[in-house]
Amino acid sequence: MSRRRHSRRRGSRRTSRDLRANSAQFRTVSGVAAVFDTSADWSKNADRCKADFTPCALCGKGVSDAKARYEVHVVDGGGVLQAVDSLIKLPGDMGWYPVGSDCAKIVPPGFVRRIT
């Protein structure tokens, strides 16, 4: 009797559970910045975005410009998030970028803000 291995199919969509399981991708540096690794599929996901969508800063999936609820402050040319309440000016400031609701759940507290 053979057993089947349970694994994700190639090219399958990432779920919030997959993202939470990979939440160790963040490293906090002195409470001011969090270094992160973007999804390996970021550019592939970003290429699929529709005209009125902006790629999520973490995974690249489309976030509706009209319905974006969360954003992060990207610095150092990308790959680093600055704390929301930080007054320190870090180099390579890229501004605020939207993140999807699934990705917002895995960002360390204090590094994501809700858009009002």
pLDDT in tens, 80-102: 888 899 888 888 889 999 999 98
- Catalogue the long-range contacts made by 91-95 (C-beta closer than 8 Å, 24 or more residues apart): none
Higher pLDDT pick, 110 / 28: 110
CA distance 108 to 34: 8
Average pLDDT for the chain? 77
pLDDT in tens, 6-29: 444 444 454 444 444 444 366 666
Please, which pLDDT band fits residue 35 given cuts at 50, 70 and 90? Answer: confident
Q: CA-based Rg of the chain, rounded to a whole angstrom?
A: 16
Task: Name the one residue in this structure whose structure tokens are 């919030």.
Answer: 16
CA distance 64 to 55: 9
